[in-house]
Structure 1
Amino acid sequence: MTDVVPSLDSPHARLTVLSGPTAVGKGTIMAEMRRRAPDVWISVSATTRAPRPGELDGVHYYFLTPERFDELIRAGQMLEWALVHGSNRYGTPREPVERELAAGRPVFLELDLQGARQVREAMPDARFVFLAPPSWEELVRRLVGRGTETPEERERRLSTAREELAAVDEFDHVVVNDDVERATDELLTLMGVTERVD
């Protein structure tokens, strides 16, 4: 049996931030990462948006009221946070990330562009990876095919995606999500994850 495990004692065992435009497949890559590299600690973000069908609190996101989210910001308990698509806030609770890094465990964050920029200011030694679509047309096809947004929301998300794609040069690495397995392979390699045969 072959398992993919991170090399915890390597210099690669550090914070990796994955960002990219809406509908590029960040969640799919994250699920594949969780399946193939269970020892990599994947942060759960907090958000003020309502859960989508099938999403569970504490698993997919921490679903917080705007008031509770504000309390955490004021207390300095958010590593980063951002207003996304002009409507909802997303953020990363600071304490769990710092705890796992202190223990020497690789930490993986999936963030929007604003959040990635804040983490770069707070933790400049992190590894920043941009997940890119194979083409603009494919990105639009994926967003429309998802069927979870109204036409107005799709237009807002595509407008945001154009801005996000323009920021690609701010990142250390670019991974093209043309195939989930191949893109995950590339990301795990960047993170210093190794194969272990049992």
Structure 2
Amino acid sequence: MARRSDHTRDELTKLILDSAFNLVSKSGYTQVSTRKIAAEIGYTVGTLYNVFTNLDDIFIHVNARIIDMLLNRLKAVIDQEAVPEKSIYLLAEEYLKFSREDYNLWNILFEYRFSNKQILPNWYTNKIAELFDLLEGVISDIASNKTSDIKSTTAIIWAGIHGICSLGTKGKLARIKLDNPEVLVKQFINGVIANLN
């Protein structure tokens, strides 16, 4: 492939990330390679490595975009519902919906394993923290017992919802005749919230 210089570095960055995002969305992260991204945008693989260190680096930026999408969806839910006790159920429903509607995007967030040498930048870990902060804020508003360990409760609720969601998207709940994740999530949240009050 001939060397190209049709785009600025910023334009090239956007082209690469748009291509990677679209490939992940369409086929899943296991089907994405720097070679496929380069072919789609009409540049050499070497050009990609002039902009990004490796595929991990590209996926960090793709994941950041996905986190922003998810944050926007979850914030919209909170903006529509002022009652925290209702918000938490709506957040869980939106999370389940996201995992179904955009499974490949949801999946890369949790299934892709960065190499041990890959250092996650602070701006990326801060984005992840934003997701937890959002849920933590709702849980804090619900808790009448302010001495409760809100951080631990947030982690428990997220892990429970995510676990149910993960089992549901992989068809594992149907095997044990529990094929309605929404009902399970609601029952789970009910139990945790009861301990907050």
Q: Which has the higher contact order (CA 8 A, sep 6+)?
A: 1
Q: Which has the higher helix share?
A: 2
Structure-1-length-normalised TM-score: 0.26
Computing the radius of gyration from Cα coordinates, the structure with the larger value is 2
